[in-house]
Structure 1
Amino acid sequence: MKKLLGAFIIVSLAVVTGRYVYLELSRLPFFNLSEVEIKCPENIDRGDVLEISGLKIGESIFYQDLNKATDSLLEIRGVQSVKIRRLLPASIRINLETDELVLFVKTDKIYGLTKSQKLLRVANPKNILPVVTGLSVVKSQNVRDGNIKSNMLDYFDKVKLCYAIDVYEEMRMLSENLANRLSEIHFTGSDRIVLYFDPGGVKVLLPLQGRRKALSRLSVLDFNGILGNSGSFDMTGGRMVVRRRI
């Protein structure tokens, strides 16, 4: 019995001593956070990531709340996963993964549009993607933490974004050449859409209802070399295509 009691005391002292040593070592300036490595898509500002995470430069990496930082970063619109790990002696690495950007949206500024129909602020746009125009203006003060509040776009604009994604995805399936040339998707009124193609600024007017059939005819025109690099095409008249020179 005395041996068991003695063993218990020794183990307890070892645990307490180990904990004390850990706490003392973790307070050493050697482990104070000096660098945060951030890996994230270009549409997310790294300064915003650091601020939202709550990580503090100059404090021990062992006293940084990584669980809280993860939960906070997951609140950023479009972020799907967050991985954070400590790197001895004084660094922390953050890895963010988001939805893929499929289009840009232009209102008062340029924003990124993801496949899940979320708008994200783009710090330094490098992707070459078509721009969606003809929406309501989203004012800068309505942007928080790099994301647009969902209630800042009205119902009709949200529907237009769905149409824009559908048009671009359909075009990519029909003709990679057309998809690569597409520079702008402009909404005019409630039932029409205008597409602009590079080079030369070819203009194509499509109906929103029946747009897929119109896109299919458009891909045939391009395949046969009729679309060309200039001109205006009105495809809102069913099977009739009206071509005008610009």
Structure 2
Amino acid sequence: MAEHLIIRPLHDTGALQRADRLLREVWGTRRGDDPPMLLDLMCAFAHTGGYVGGAFLDDELVGVAAGFLAGDHSLHSHIAGVAAKARGRGVGRAIKEHQRAWAAERGLVAVSWTFDPLVRRNAFFNLTRLGAQVRGYLPDFYGPMSDGINDGGPSDRLFVTWPTEQAAPPPVLEGDGVVVVDETGAVRDAEGAPLLRCATPADVESLRAADPAAAGRWRAALESGLGGALEQGYRVTGFTRSGWYLLARGGAA
């Protein structure tokens, strides 16, 4: 039997409690860990005009996203999570599309969110599949986080926006460019080159568990190489399937 996926707003307390439990499962939250999102905050979002959506496969809740209205006439998506058993089945994409449609219906111009720049699959999904645009590198944006996924270290993030009216993004080619962070995590001098390339670790989540020091060096490398390039006026033009940020000097994002 074919699966039926539906995204719908969550309002009542019981549904929001289910959403809270799912997010804790997705994050692997243990006793004593910070929750991915406070339940009372999620309830406040749902009841004051914010966004709280649930993804259901055959009536089973398998994904949750929550966000609030931002001052620049956008929806800021604060959190989104998909159950492990539902990954790779289009749930994450469906949630983001629902958020964008929800925002467009209310006259909002974009959906924004943050993500860990070291996590390859998230970078590829956000920048290449969706076509979100990088607006800035935010070092240790949330401070240390101990929530089951994050390791308690600095919480660097990329801030991105996804316009509510945007054509499908063009395909991203591997491209040329001077390497500012290589595949070993070493930072190099770009010397003002017009095009740059910045590598990412293959699996930073496993690396954080196996070798926290090495993961920390990668974080510092991206803050210096990728974050530094953005501060110098470069913009991210894409992210390759093999794990490279592509950047160009100047111009509109």
TM-score category by the smaller chain? under 0.3
TM-score normalised to the size of structure 1? 0.25
Q: Which has the larger radius of gyration?
A: 1
TM-score normalised to the size of structure 2? 0.24
